Chain A
């Protein structure tokens, strides 16, 4: 499979009303496989939406190249790009029925009336809205409007479908359902999807590939599992899943973390990078009751099957996650308990600042 979309060195700055400049994108590279599902993940204002808008053509990059199936598109006007967008606000045309909304893009392509009708019905069926074609957007629920926006963009059979935080306006339950729906649609149509989100769980659940953005740069890109298991920077470790990020210092072949025993290089992952922090997932933190331990329990939360325990170790707070079942068998941590905090073998990862 070839590359559907290639982004090379794209830079974009905006002038702020105060007269300053914001670098929304700094020399961004991105490769998107044909027929894949890529998620651009990052906090708000990190540049992910700007990149999406550059690909759509709604923004023009200051420099760099954007290629769609090998052809440069960064100077092609929006309406000529074989790329369509599902907008965060859905942007359905309020004066048109659902059918007319979906037909709009097809009419622009000069598709015959008969084919348009067929394609509109097909698109409605695809998003399971058959029978609602005659309604106005204002007569639909948020979830249904979302599906119309999706159908409208998919009906054009774009080479790449761009989704700008499409699920952010839906409530949690609907959102879970739509995530599955989007995955299904992507598989069935085998159209390349690029989705922007700030929700890391959504990114994990949906992406074949996740690109993590931080202040206008892609700091890490890879399969969700790889990004989760091997975060490269402190930011990624913190943003994706939960992580205990602790300051660390190299001394020869071992690393010292305040409050813990020194760890030899061989026990640490990612030790080839000269990072100044280590990251450990809460589920890899082990706590044991010990009067002479290195930490004190400061918070215990019972969350169904899991026990969240916060422990203070030499000024830093370490979160641990335990199965409640373990606690049942014997010791149940309580606030003020002295504990020995340790890490599971091979779970301590060096990360860059």
Chain B
């Protein structure tokens, strides 16, 4: 509404909102309104700044980030290739579309424990991240490819271009904004996927830290691990939103 119309006011409101959350979280912790499980934010921050705490968070955060990044790369490559294949071979298309709906609803937790026994404890977070990303990217890319105006496609066909030429000259450039849309959704999905994989007995990572801190009632550690996971997810999202803006300006 009016707040959104004035960017200065909107920014001010945003900062106010963030402050409100921080103060509220601190007060709830201070007065133990939610019991001992909700520590004051200052305690959490104090834990993060201790050398032991920051070392632990940094090491495990890096493990999760690496798994998520590798998974992101793998998932994106496979999904884009699959969506392009469905486009070039039209016979595959209805099947692939139906499959995309199933993949979209697939609960990744269903695979995690099964992957532990086959892919191994180390690789499972990366594989789960790749799967989560792959599902999201496949769905956005199929809809991105389908979004090509029939007239453009007809012109190229009449001029005698093959399906592959149409893919390279028309459908791929048209799908660039969808690609970046998919990436903004994929970045948090990769972090989530990696942490799900780590829940099921990975040797390192934020997911492991979260579960063990919960079981051992280490509240500052639990909260700071959650903060780091959120920060990673949010940072990845913001970075890809910037890419998306550039892409929309160039190809949109």
- Whether chains A and B associate is no
| B→A interface (CB under 8 Å) | none
